[in-house]
Amino acid sequence: MSRKSRRRAATPAERKAVTFPTGKAEFDWTDEDWAVAHLPQIRAAALVLQRDDKELETVVTEMVKTGMIPELFEQWSSVKEHLEGLIELLGAACTRTFIVLERIGYSRDKPSPEQPLH
């Protein structure tokens, strides 16, 4: 079994030196518009997974007859690409926030004195 090599942890000076430019991250969907555009395809995918192969064969056969398959795959591909973009956006936001939190010395074990305790 091979081990992944781990990079050495950055020093405080190296972490302070990390910079990043502003980025263009447009997300101008309203909650309602996003739900209307994407949730039907997500629900359809969930329904596919709730069927065994025999049940799905029946459903897909009917979809083929009605010509729905090309549109279905186009919609699923579009939603998949959209969600992959959102995952990238969230990953970048987490990374940038983590860098800044480290820079200001925040940790869950050592919260800011201004932070209220629950």
As a whole-number percent, the residues of the chain with pLDDT over 70 amount to: 89
Q: Tell me how far apart the alpha carbons of residues 98 and 56 are, in angstroms, rounded to a whole number.
A: 44
DSSP character at residue 37: H
pLDDT digits (tens, 9 = 90+) for 60-106: 999 999 999 999 999 999 999 999 999 999 999 999 998 888 888 88
Taking only Cα atoms into account, the Rg of the chain, rounded to an integer number of angstroms, comes to 23
Given a cut of 60, is residue 109 above it in pLDDT? yes
| Confidence at residue 5, expressed as pLDDT on a 0 to 100 scale | 66
Residue type, 105: G
Residue 73 burial class via C-beta count within 10 angstroms: exposed 0-12, middle 13-18, buried 19 and up: exposed
Which residue from 77, 78, 46, 72 is spatially nearest to 60, judged by alpha carbons? Answer: 72
